[in-house]
Amino acid sequence: MMNMLADLQSFFAVYPEKWSSWSPDILRAIRTTLWITAGSFLLGLVIGLFLAIARLSKSAMIRNAATVYVEIARGVPALVVLFLIYFGLPPLGIAFDAIPSAILGLGLSSGGYFAEIFRAGIIATHRGQREAGHAVGMTPFQIYRFIIIPQATRIALPPLVNMLITLLKDSSLASLISAPEIMLRAKDISSTDFLPLHILVLAGVIYLAMAVPLSLLARIIERRMFAGLGARL
């Protein structure tokens, strides 16, 4: 027991010692991780919104095209999409840097999930709302812009926060196409300092420190929403 405590103590003693040499790289890497997460979240959000609306379209062709996109995006690993963009496109004359590739790949691939989240939100908004908008002379675009989307977004808020967590975690895949985010730096440092366990555990703790507050937020929003519903019922 004493032995284990001493081991643990010496394990953690490495961190204050190494922090000054690790911190510049790590902090910059955290910023890159946040960029990739935010960029792919926004891209996925926009794609998902369009897909969700397209799937409720009157035209069967638009509907089917959107469904095919969603099925493929949800059936293919994000990592494969990243490889396809970063390694597969340059021979065809289209080359992106690692970070834009990561944002594009994660955005395209998460778009399918965003679409499902929004679709659930749109369906949950009562049909009468749409008819009411129609009755007061709104165009379909106005109905979406002022009636459906504001309400659907509220319903979709908890799953959207969960999606943000998923993208934060998936941004780690960008290290495999050499985007200089947390995991790439962690791997670099572990191969120069021979302290793989220390740096990788630190990487895990950094992800946790970002993910846990978000998952608490999702839970709080969910509870508030149900409380609101309960009061109304």
Partner 1 sequence: MLPDLLQRIPTYLQVLLQGAGITVVITIGALLIAVSVGLTLAVLRTFRLPFVSGFVNVYVEVFRGIPPLTLLFIIYFGLTYIGIRLSPLPAAIIGLGLSGGAYCTEIFRSGISALHHGQREAAAAIGMTPMMAMRYVILPQAFRITLPPLGNYAVGLVKDTAVASAVAAPEILFRARNLTTETFDTALIYVLVACLYFAMTFPIARWVGHLEKKRSSWS
User: Exactly one of 151, 187, 188, 225 binds partner 1 (CB under 8 A); which one?
Assistant: 187
The count of other CB atoms within 10 Å of the CB of residue 213 is: 11
Instruction: Tell which residue, 173, 122, 128, has the closest CA to residue 151.
Output: 122
Q: Please, are residues 103 and 81 in contact by the beta-carbon 8 Å criterion?
A: no
**Token output for 35:** 């960029």
Cα(32)–Cα(34) distance, integer angstroms: 5
User: Exactly one of 24, 90, 150, 228 binds partner 1 (CB under 8 A); which one?
Assistant: 90
Per-residue interface string for the shown chain with partner 1, residues 99-138, x marking contact by CB under 8 A: ----------------------------------------
Question: In the complex with partner 1, which residue's Cβ is closer, 35 or 83?
Answer: 83
- Packing angle between helix 60-75 and helix 98-124, nearest 10 degrees? 120
CB of 78 to partner 1, least distance (A): 7
Contact status: 198 vs partner 1 (CB under 8 A): yes
User: Exactly one of 38, 76, 217, 221 binds partner 1 (CB under 8 A); which one?
Assistant: 76
The count of other CB atoms within 10 Å of the CB of residue 113 is: 19
Binding residues vs partner 1 (CB under 8 A) = 71-72, 74-81, 83-84, 87-92, 165, 169-173, 175-176, 183, 186-187, 190, 195-198, 200-201, 203-204, 207-208, 211-212, 215
